[in-house]
Structure formats: C-alpha cells, structure tokens
Amino acid sequence: MKFTVVWKPAAERQLADIWLEATDRNAVTTATEAIESALATRPEQLGESRPLDCRIAFIAPLALTFRVTVADRLVEVVSVRRV
C-alpha cells in the first residue's frame, strides 16, 4: 500500500531554490523523483530516525527531513537541502 507524500511549503521553496541554483538540474530532478518513489513505497525504511518523530535521508545531491504517519499512510517532507 502506498503512502501519500506531501511537501511542506517551506520544503517546496527550498527544493525550488536548490533546482534554480543547481549547475546540474538533471541530478536534482533525478534525486527528487527517487525521493518521491522511496517515500511513497517504504518511508519507514528510508534514512535514519531523528528527534521529534523525524527521519533524515540522503539521496545525492539532496538531504531531506521528513515525518511518517503510518496510521494515516502519510509522509510529510519538512525540509530539503543540497549536500
């Protein structure tokens, strides 16, 4: 069963800024697609746990912080940055 992936507005703005400033926009797009796929299918297995019920994952060239609510089948991307 799939999870719904929701990007918080701040995370969307961060991703847009990263993409606009990237020298390799294709790498950012590819990483974003991989993130969406992984979060939709296996978010509780992606990355490492962090405080405040968050998880962090690295899919080059991006790092993201997200929350998983298994009961609601929901993933919220809280922030994203370039690594």
Residue 52 pLDDT = 86
pLDDT in tens, 17-59: 999 999 999 999 999 999 999 999 999 999 999 998 899 999 9
**pLDDT (0 to 100) of residue 57:** 97
CA distances to 2, 22, 46, 49, 78 from 81, in Å: 25, 12, 17, 17, 11
pTM: 0.93
Instruction: Give the gyration radius of the chain's Cα atoms.
Output: 12
pLDDT of residue 1: 80
Lookup: tokens for 8: 């918080």
| From the candidate CATH numbers 3.30.2310.20, 3.30.70.980, 3.30.365.10, 3.40.50.720, the one assigned to the domain spanning 4-82 | 3.30.2310.20
Domain spans, the chain: 4-82
pLDDT of amino acid 68: 96
Task: Provide mean pLDDT across the span 67-76.
Answer: 96
Distance, CA of 36 to CA of 44 (rounded, Å): 13
